[in-house]
Amino acid sequence: MDQTSTDIRPCAGLRIGDKAPDFTARSTLGEVRLNDYRGRWLILFSHPADFTPVCTTEFVELAKVADQFEQRDCTLMALSVDSLFSHFAWLRMIRDQFGAEIRFPIVEDPTLVIGRAYGMVAPNDSDSATVRTTFFIDPQGDIRAMTCYPASIGRSIPELLRMLDALQAVDHQHALAPANWQVGEPLLDQPLPDLDSVYNAPDATTWFLRHKGKGTGK
């Protein structure tokens, strides 16, 4: 299946819980197919353009912690409208100037077919320079979380890791992650939809707000 496959719907308006649209495309690590990553976590993210200041800082920081994503059984995959050879030249500059080697795939999307399929760009947009969108895709190929940053603001790399940790922890323990949760902190129990549990609770909050064991992800 290639980028022009009819399985990719223009501007799909994807939501959490949807299946991530499959695609096959050229990348800096050779041809990639999204569905080949089933069985592990995948973070697919767009960047407006190569050789831009904010994007460069993001990739330098991602290179520093790429092994932390790998330890969590997660692949990073970037996407932009730029050509494969533009990606190559940009990665060479990042390595030479910042000492950071990018070893995860960067996909070329010159026709914006993939970007439109994922709702990263609108149907009539001629470039991808408006937003930074991130999709957290679980081992079953389901979209579990999405973030969207403007082109003028770089992503928080620690928050990417925290989101991944939280998604893995709530799956592993069938629990909920509270505000500002970090690995090793307590998770929350799912409240029971049962009137007796409401009336039998020792106080007015513990029937729906109870801590569960410490969340450690996988």
Rounded to whole angstroms, the Cα distance separating 192 from 198 reads 8
Alpha-carbon dihedral angle through residues 199, 203, 209, 215, given to the nearest 10 degrees: -110
**Residues classed as catalytic:** 55
CA nearest 173: which of 203, 215, 205? 215
- Residue 67, classed as helix, strand or coil, is helix
Q: Contact 134/146 with Cβ under 8 angstroms?
A: yes
| Chain centre to alpha carbon of residue 127 | 21
| Chain centre to alpha carbon of residue 132 | 11
Per the rule left: phi > 0, alpha: psi between -120 and 50, beta: everything else, 9 is: beta
- Residue 32, classed as helix, strand or coil, is strand
Backbone phi, psi, residue 10, to 5°: -60, 135
Q: What is the residue whose two structure tokens read 């998604």? A: 167
